[in-house]
Amino acid sequence: MSATVEMSVVSGSEEGLYPIYLDYSATTPVDPRVAAKMIPYISEHFGNPASRSHPYGWTAEKAVENARLEVAKLVGADPREIVWTSGATESNNLAIKGAANFYSEKGKHLITLTTEHKAVIDPMRELERQGFSATYLDPEPNGLLDIAKLKAAIRPDTVLVSVMLVNNEIGVIQDIVAIGNLCRENGIIFHVDAAQATGKVAIDLEQLPVDLMSFCAHKTYGPKGIGALYVRRKPRIRIEAQMHGGGHDRGMRSGTLATHHIVGMGEAFRLAREEMAEENTRIRRLRDKLLNGLQSMEEVYVNGDLEHRVPHNLNISFNYVEGESLIMAVKGIAVSSGSACTSASLEPSYVLRALGRSDELAHSSIRFSIGRFTTEADVDYTINLMKSKIDKLRELSPLWEMFKDGIDLSKVQWAAH
């Protein structure tokens, strides 16, 4: 299919302005097939889907409902369970604050993981300011939640548990069936942030014990600025609206629907449903190649479980090399670093820290995320680039030298600054 795709997601050139894109977990390009579907809804079909009195509105409404059906079909939901939002951040806010507020009479305790996205953690923090209490569980060193720990954290007043399906930094897949079943047994609402999961893992909400699930389009080759929240109908889950206005989407989220964006999300999710199996096989092959290539170097560590993980994500720490200098060294590829050294703070990735990774390893991590337009040549180029640059930086690294001299770095008295 790459022949039909006219994209500037470039392959191959280090000298070019744009490096090879290996940051699909940050965002994906809009699939050209998706963009083509969207364009008429910006121009000729501009009607407001809420306009009931003329064909402009009817056409837009039909497109919106068709997209709602496509989103529902990818995840095994009823279209009436899909609420449009501006993206996964809004979906998470609506789910967590909306459910916590609605059920606050029942209890005011919430549970989540320390490795959740900030769009889950920060709404929890906000609820804490409003008088709720929250428990933040550390996952096991492989990134997965130990169900026994969740069981132990549940209190009589626990109303909501939020656990993501696929982690954005390390790509691990949580056992949401086990977590959901435990929530069911205890009468607790279960929210799942699935922003990173659509088109990567099969989701069947008809079977899954999940009450609320967040989605977004732009991680699945749709446009930015559009997302959805699944709100279970049977048994019915209630949420308090966070956005008040014209009563759109059954009053759960007011605001004129962004038809073109919604159409884009629908088409993106339709393509995901049709192509997921084939795409995952191809991406897994590329991931394995990349992993094998990188593991031919010494002192390379995969962050997060490799089995329970989407093939799209490879998060690796290159010991004794600092993350930001590594990012500088690999200008030929666009990747993310677990080192937040570029910001004013020197805190490394909180996700990797929660796995118990040392600061050094957390600082030395790179997240490679592979996607629809990644080629084998891209992977070959990346392996060669990484090898040569890691060698160069380790030649520069006093830590590498000490390691090679057999010095135990954990025993060194550092002059922290």
Partner 1 sequence: MAYSDKVLDHYENPRNVGTLDKNDPNVGTGMVGAPACGDVMKLMIKVSDDGIIEDAKFKTYGCGSAIASSSLVTEWLKGKTIDQAYAIKNSAIAEELALPPVKIHCSVLAEDAIKAAVADIKAKQAAKEAA
Positions marked active-site: 341
User: What is the C-alpha separation between 377 and 286, in angstroms, rounded?
Assistant: 10
The minimum distance between CB 161 and partner 1, in angstroms, equals 33
According to the binding rule CB under 8 A, does residue 344 interact with partner 1?
A: yes
Handedness of CA 64, 67, 71, 76 (dihedral sign): positive
Task: Using CB under 8 A, pick the residue from 1, 39, 177, 328 that binds partner 1.
Answer: 328
| Number of residues near partner 1 (by CB under 8 A) | 30
Tokens of 370: 């592979």
User: What is the C-alpha separation between 304 and 302, in angstroms, rounded?
Assistant: 6
According to the binding rule CB under 8 A, does residue 415 interact with partner 1?
A: yes
Task: Using CB under 8 A, pick the residue from 138, 240, 275, 359 that binds partner 1.
Answer: 359
Task: Using CB under 8 A, pick the residue from 339, 349, 369, 374 that binds partner 1.
Answer: 339
Choices 168-176, 217-225, 338-346, 378-386; region in contact with partner 1 by CB under 8 A: 338-346
In the complex with partner 1, the residue whose CB is nearer, 105 or 408, is 408
- Strands 336-337 and 333-334, by their bridges, are unpaired
The minimum distance between CB 319 and partner 1, in angstroms, equals 10
In the complex with partner 1, the residue whose CB is nearer, 215 or 400, is 400
The minimum distance between CB 377 and partner 1, in angstroms, equals 25
According to the binding rule CB under 8 A, does residue 346 interact with partner 1?
A: yes
User: What is the C-alpha separation between 59 and 46, in angstroms, rounded?
Assistant: 9
Choices 33-41, 60-68, 214-222, 409-417; region in contact with partner 1 by CB under 8 A: 409-417
According to DSSP H, which parts of 84-146 are helical?
88-102, 118-129
Tokens of 138: 């550390």
Alpha-carbon torsion angle 98, 116, 279, 314, nearest 10: 170
According to the binding rule CB under 8 A, does residue 343 interact with partner 1?
A: yes
According to the binding rule CB under 8 A, does residue 407 interact with partner 1?
A: no
Gyration radius of the chain over CA positions: 22
The answer to whether 303 and 349 are in contact (CB under 8 A) is: no
User: What is the C-alpha separation between 243 and 229, in angstroms, rounded?
Assistant: 14
User: What is the C-alpha separation between 377 and 12, in angstroms, rounded?
Assistant: 7
According to the binding rule CB under 8 A, does residue 325 interact with partner 1?
A: yes
User: What is the C-alpha separation between 181 and 333, in angstroms, rounded?
Assistant: 42
According to the binding rule CB under 8 A, does residue 358 interact with partner 1?
A: yes
Choices 105-113, 225-233, 254-262, 359-367; region in contact with partner 1 by CB under 8 A: 359-367
Question: Exposure of 417 by Cβ count < 10 A (0-12 exposed, 13-18 middle, 19+ buried)?
Answer: exposed
For the segment 34-93, give every residue that binds partner 1 (CB under 8 A). Answer: none
According to the binding rule CB under 8 A, does residue 116 interact with partner 1?
A: no
According to the binding rule CB under 8 A, does residue 409 interact with partner 1?
A: yes
Choices 14-22, 136-144, 147-155, 390-398; region in contact with partner 1 by CB under 8 A: 390-398
According to the binding rule CB under 8 A, does residue 411 interact with partner 1?
A: no
The minimum distance between CB 299 and partner 1, in angstroms, equals 13
According to the binding rule CB under 8 A, does residue 388 interact with partner 1?
A: no
According to the binding rule CB under 8 A, does residue 15 interact with partner 1?
A: no
Question: Exposure of 6 by Cβ count < 10 A (0-12 exposed, 13-18 middle, 19+ buried)?
Answer: exposed
Residue 343 CB: number of other CB atoms within 10 A? 8
User: What is the C-alpha separation between 383 and 389, in angstroms, rounded?
Assistant: 10
The minimum distance between CB 395 and partner 1, in angstroms, equals 7
Binding residues (CB under 8 A) for partner 1: these are: 320-325, 328, 339, 341-344, 346, 348, 358-360, 363, 395-401, 409, 414-417
